[in-house]
Amino acid sequence: MEACSATPSGAALRGTFAGHRLPAQRQAAAVVARPACRQGRHPLRVSASASGDPGKPKKDSLEDRIASGEFTDSGSTKERLTRPLRRVLAKDPVGPGRMIAMQLAKIGQRWQRRAATRMPTATGDIREIVGQPVFVPLFKLYQIYGKIFKLSFGPKQFVIVSDPEMAKQILLHNASNYSKGLLSEILDFVMGQGLIPADGEVWKVRRRAVVPALHKKYLAAMVNMFGECAEHGARVIEQSAKAGKAVEMENFFSRFGLDIIGKAVFNYDFDSLTHDDPVIQAVYTTLREAEYRSTYPIAYWNIVPLRYIVPRQRRNMEALQVIQETLNELIAKCKQLVEEEDEEFVEEFLSKADPSILHFLIASGDDITSKQLKDDMMTLLIAGHETTAAVLTWTFHCIADRPDVIARLREEVDEVLGDGRPGFEELRSLRYTTRVINESMRMYPQPPVLIRRALADDVLGGYDVPAGSDIFISTWNLHRSPELWDEPDHFNPDRFPVDGPTPNEQTHDFKYLPFGGGRRKCIGDQFALFEAVTALAMLIRRFDFERAPDAPPVAMTTGATIHTTNGLWLVPKARQMQQEQHAAGAGAGVAAAAFTEQRELALAFTEPAKPQQQTTATP
């Protein structure tokens, strides 16, 4: 995925937003009717957000206030500011004042006409957005201002794009004119010149080096590893099922994803599902810092002395040191293994001893520094870990109340897999299972916003976009637009036919961007999709999942991906069919015994959630 496209949240929105008056017909159509709520149809409910003073009573919801036109200005700011003077001069009984007022009125009309041709700009007090995931108010503003508008985040303006054709121009047709910009600045401390934040020649060189590593033989080996990790995860969940405890699925999938990406990228077994160690804690400290920096309005960490004074920055530097030392050891071991193997490097090279991407890059003989290798490894670690974990979390959220979807999933999984692991070809046969993942990625895109910066002047939607403009392509708006989708808030895997091609930006002409698009599209799209399908198939085959009765409501918050505020708490129950199938096997007993010592950590997923202030309620 175009992962870690860090998404600025409401915490970064400290400024104002004001705009031009819209034509009457556009204002009338601005608020799009939402579908009524019935089984399986969940209009997104926006909770009233906190005002600047938590002691004050909450006002009308931001949704209602935007719809009322409160944030729609009358047009030209200069014309508006001269109105009081014109009124005073027009009352001049002598005459000169009236003449001046008439001239000002004519000038004002010219200002108004010019304003009508400028890109709409949203301004006004938006402290109410603080605490909300930014893509929710962006959707409301999109309904008012249209497919492209400017939005002030404090002293800086951003261009918000919610149109497939404009997205295609930015990502595909004129991609060379756009860099990662703000994203590179946010992620530099952890990814450096890795594949995602890099631009220009560095990006071209790294892409040419990394893409060949993701060949078919590698993916086939990874699919087998996905199955092993899914079985391992199922044994951990089984402990909670036997105890009748709820599992916090977001935490579970985050650790599951970390274990997979560790093996896939540099042949390192974190085994984070069943134990903790300093490296695991360091990875999560770094991930949290990346998300923190993507949502904080002032980049104080760029002031070097503060890195040693502010406690969280000290912890981040210590975590980075642990990760760097670990990567140095892994790179050294891999180089030694490559020298000892003395294998000829051929197309689709794959080491049986170490099939990782790191091994491929070193064996390729590519002239690369250890610093660049570490940047690449950190980029793949973070990008490949958080995004798939988020996809699986929201997939289970979507299907938790849909027994019809679960029944069809199991019918397909039982027919294709039986009681075995999926292979490369079996995954291709899990077509409905794949469509469930596709639809989950439409409803909860990871990330919900893609960030770009214009390197030269461009024109989008008929409006001038100057060089240096930071642009947010709102994937959330594209995926939830009633103009682009039938019943966009309804979870419906059948909107993507099982006998059709796998949906992507090309099949849906850039209105669907699960992995971005164009030349900067995620290089690990097949890897991520196979990983998610494997996990979904193997867990649904073995367990029923019910929402924990005492769990807090699921709500969204913004980070590098869409997170829950209080977790996704589900109670697993072993399927009766599986109990019968495994009754005669001693393997389950051996596996359970092997996990007895780790039971305390495994049940850490089942500790009650601590209620937090919620942001935005979800389906």
In this prediction, residue 187 has a pLDDT band, given cuts at 50, 70 and 90, of confident
Helix (H, G, I), strand (E, B) or coil at 572: strand
Domain count, the chain: 2
Residue 100 in domain? yes
Question: Per the domain annotation, does 160 fall within a domain?
Answer: no
Share of the chain above pLDDT 90, in %: 51
Measured CA angle at 184 (ends 180, 190), to 5 deg: 145
Residue 601, pLDDT > 60, answer: no
Residue 24 placed within a domain: no
CA atoms within 13 A on the CB side of 276: 11
DSSP 179: E
Instruction: Establish if 30 belongs to a structural domain.
Output: no
Band the pLDDT of 595: cuts 50, 70, 90: very low
Nearest to 128 by CA among 140, 143, 145, 119: 140
- Are 111 and 259 part of one and the same domain? no
Cis amide leading into 488 (omega within 30): no
Q: What is the SS3 assignment for 33-47?
A: CCCCCECCECCCCCC
362-368: list long-range contacts, CB under 8 Å, 24+ apart. Answer: 362/331, 362/334, 362/335, 362/338, 363/338, 364/209, 364/212, 366/209, 368/209
Task: Quickly state the pLDDT bin for 608 (edges 50, 70, 90).
Answer: very low
Is residue 599's pLDDT more than 60? no
At 192-215, the pLDDT tens digits run 888 888 888 889 988 988 999 999
The pLDDT value recorded for residue 17 is 34
Cβ count near 115 (within 10 Å): 21
Q: What percent of the chain has pLDDT over 70?
A: 75
Between 4-8, 189-193, 530-534, the lowest mean confidence (pLDDT) is in: 4-8
Same domain, 235 and 362: yes
Of the chain, the end-to-end C-alpha distance in Å amounts to: 24
85: left (phi over 0), alpha (psi -120 to 50) or beta: alpha
Q: Is 213 in the same domain as 93? A: no
360 and 477 both lie in a single domain: yes
Q: Model confidence at 31, in pLDDT bands (50, 70, 90)?
A: very low
Last residue of a domain, one of 68, 101, 117: 117
Confidence of residue 580 (pLDDT cuts 50, 70, 90): very low
Dihedral angle over CA of 484, 487, 490, 492, nearest 10: -70
181 and 113 housed in the same domain = no
Structure tokens at 579: 């109990």
Q: Is residue 420 part of a domain?
A: yes
- Are both 215 and 105 inside the same structural domain? no
> What ranges in 16-82 are assigned the alpha helix state H?
24-28, 62-67, 77-81
| pLDDT tens per residue, range 418-469 | 989 999 899 999 999 999 999 999 999 999 999 999 999 999 999 999 999 9
Predicted local distance difference test score (pLDDT) of residue 365: 82
Asked whether residue 334 is marked as a ligand-binding residue, the answer is no
> What pLDDT does residue 463 have?
92
Predicted local confidence at residue 397, as pLDDT: 98
CA distance 618 to 489: 10
> How far from chain centre, in Å, is Cα 154?
23
For 118-157, write each residue's pLDDT tens digit: 788 886 545 445 557 888 888 989 998 899 999 877 667 8
Average pLDDT on 85-97 reads 70
Q: Are residues 109 and 255 in the same domain?
A: no
Note the pTM of the prediction, 2 decimals: 0.79
Which domain does 273 fall in, by range? 177-574
**Residue 376: which of 258, 514, 202 has the closest Cα?**
202
Average pLDDT over residues 89-115: 72
- CA 606-611-617 angle, 5° bins: 105
When mean pLDDT is compared over 38-47, 284-293, 544-553, the highest value belongs to: 544-553
Among 102-116, 171-185, 382-396, 518-532, the range scoring the smallest mean pLDDT is 102-116
* Res. 76 pLDDT band, cuts 50 70 90: low
What CATH number should be reported for the domain holding residue 238?
1.10.630.10
Asked whether residue 101 falls in the same domain as residue 193, the answer is no
Token pair in block for residue 584: 């005669």
Clarify whether residues 113 and 181 are in a common domain: no
Tell me which of 110 and 27 has the higher pLDDT.
Answer: 110
Of 96, 98, 120, 36, nearest to 460 by C-alpha is: 120
Q: Which of 69, 93, 117 corresponds to the end of one domain? A: 117
Residue 199 shares a structural domain with residue 108: no
Characterize 188-223 residue by residue with b for buried, 16 or more Cβ atoms within 10 angstroms of its Cβ, and e for exposed.
ebbbbbbbbbbbeebbebbeebbebbbeeebbbbbb
Write out pLDDT tens, residues 50-68: 333 333 334 455 555 554 4
Query: In this structure, are 547 and 436 located in the same domain?
Result: yes
- What is the three-class DSSP state of 574? strand
How high is the pLDDT of residue 357?
Answer: 94
pLDDT of residue 117: 66
pLDDT computed for residue 200 by the predictor: 87
Q: What is the DSSP letter of 331?
A: H
The pLDDT tens digits for 514-546 are: 999 999 999 999 999 999 999 999 999 999 999
Mean per-residue pLDDT of the chain? 80
Q: What is the pLDDT of residue 111?
A: 67
Residue 594's pLDDT band (cuts 50, 70, 90): very low
Q: Identify whether 136 is part of a domain.
A: no
Q: Tell me whether residue 368 is in a domain.
A: yes
95 pLDDT above the threshold of 50: yes
What's the rounded mean pLDDT across residues 499-526? 95
Residue 41 has pLDDT above 50, yes or no: no
How many angstroms separate the CA atoms of 422 and 152, rounded?
Answer: 49
Q: Is the pLDDT of residue 6 over 70?
A: no
Helix (H), strand (E) at residue 316: helix 311-341
Asked if residue 45 lies in contact with residue 59, where contact means CB atoms within 8 angstroms, the answer is no
181 inside domain: yes
Question: How many Å apart are CA 379 and CA 331, to the nearest integer?
Answer: 15
88 shares its domain with 184 = no
